[in-house]
Amino acid sequence: MAVEPLNEPLNEPLHEPLIELRGVNKHYGKLHVLKDVNLTVGRGEVVVVIGPSGSGKSTLCRTINRLEPVESGTITLDGQPLPEEGRDLARLRAEVGMVFQSFNLFAHKTVLANVSLAQVKVRKRGKEEADRRSRELLERVGLLAHAEKYPAQLSGGQQQRVAIARALAMDPKALLFDEPTSALDPEMINEVLEVMRQLAREGRTMVVVTHEMGFARYAANRVVFMADGRIVEDRTPEEFFTAPESERAKDFLSKILKH
Ligand SMILES: Nc1ncnc2c1ncn2[C@@H]1O[C@H](COP(=O)(O)OP(=O)(O)OP(=O)(O)O)[C@@H](O)[C@H]1O
């Protein structure tokens, strides 16, 4: 008897690859900071990168939008190699938005202008359309009432939410977060994490370098543990936090979870 084709979708979400790193190496002088790194980030996946200080997490994150050049290996976005330079690089940085530890807002521009600027310059939107979209996004991050203020008039948590709105305004395929809450006072961390949790629930593709283990545990699809320039573990949060395999990860978790 012929076997019927399976019509039902599988329960597991199919994470079609969006970002792929293969055999990536990088040095700073003699320091080998990325050692033969392989990583696939699926569309709609939230990948949290954790590990000891100096293990290469930020560098890894920054290679994905070419803020850091690599010496060998390939990095692709949607199956296409990342552009090296020129106009395509500005487009890449729009498609793979980045949120930094320091919010990097323009101090002499209003919150609204900070969110609109790159839309006009890179996405070639008219100013009115860009401002309309910026206001929508500021509303989403709870800051519409602050649109006409300057960054210095906002708290750190609010500035970081502006930075997230600015990244979203470019209609990115993926968002990179490099320790987005590390520069914040403790009471502001949660307001930023809540915006990030919301983005995760919406199915955004996100790579997040963070020391916030609660976010790693409960918002990530995968945890990538780095040590000494290598990806040592790449597993679900459940697996990683309940049964880490490597001695490095066990040691790291025992140190940070003690507090
Ligand atoms: N621009 C640079 N020039 C020289 N060395 C650098 C540079 N950036 C990073 N490094 C070094 O490379 C190593 C990896 O740095 P990276 O910032 O990627 O680590 P990390 O895991 O993100 O650390 P942390 O958790 O402390 O932010 C560190 O030893 C760091 O001192």
pLDDT tens digits, residue range 56-92?
A: 999 999 999 999 999 999 999 999 998 877 778 888 8
How much is the pLDDT for 91? Answer: 84
- What value does the CA radius of gyration of the chain take, rounded to a whole number of Å? 19
Domain count, the chain: 1
User: 35 lies in a domain?
Assistant: yes
Residue 9 has pLDDT above 70, yes or no: no
User: 126 lies in a domain?
Assistant: yes
How much is the pLDDT for 90? Answer: 83
Ligand 1 center to residue 59 CA distance, Å? 7
Ligand 1 center to residue 60 CA distance, Å? 10
Give the CATH number for residue 170: 3.40.50.300
User: 176 lies in a domain?
Assistant: yes
Q: 9: burial class by Cβ within 10 Å (0-12, 13-18, 19+)?
A: exposed
User: 151 lies in a domain?
Assistant: yes
Residue 123 has pLDDT above 80, yes or no: yes
pLDDT-derived band at 193 (thresholds 50, 70, 90) equals: very high
User: 3 lies in a domain?
Assistant: no
Ligand 1 center to residue 34 CA distance, Å? 10
Q: The pTM is what?
A: 0.92
- Ligand 1 pocket test: which of 25, 53, 208 has the largest number of ligand atoms within 8 Å of its C-beta? 53
- Ligand 1 pocket test: which of 27, 30, 33 has the largest number of ligand atoms within 8 Å of its C-beta? 33
DSSP annotation of 42 reads E
- Ligand 1, residues at Cβ distance < 6 Å: 28, 31, 33, 51, 53-59
Residue with tokens 């296409």: 80
Strands (E) located in 108-247: 174-178, 206-209, 222-227, 230-235
User: 2 lies in a domain?
Assistant: no
Residue with tokens 């049964």: 243
Residue 125 has pLDDT above 80, yes or no: yes
User: 33 lies in a domain?
Assistant: yes
pLDDT-derived band at 50 (thresholds 50, 70, 90) equals: very high
Q: Are strands 31-42 and 17-28 parallel, antiparallel or unpaired?
A: antiparallel
pLDDT-derived band at 14 (thresholds 50, 70, 90) equals: low
How much is the pLDDT for 86? Answer: 73
How much is the pLDDT for 6? Answer: 46
pLDDT-derived band at 259 (thresholds 50, 70, 90) equals: low
How much is the pLDDT for 93? Answer: 86
Q: Are 88 and 141 in contact (CB under 8 A)?
A: no
CA of 177: how far to CAs of 9, 13, 101, in Å? 32, 23, 8
Q: What residue numbers bound the domain in which 21 lies? A: 17-256
User: 1 lies in a domain?
Assistant: no
Region 115-127: what's the mean pLDDT? 92
Ligand 1 center to residue 21 CA distance, Å? 19
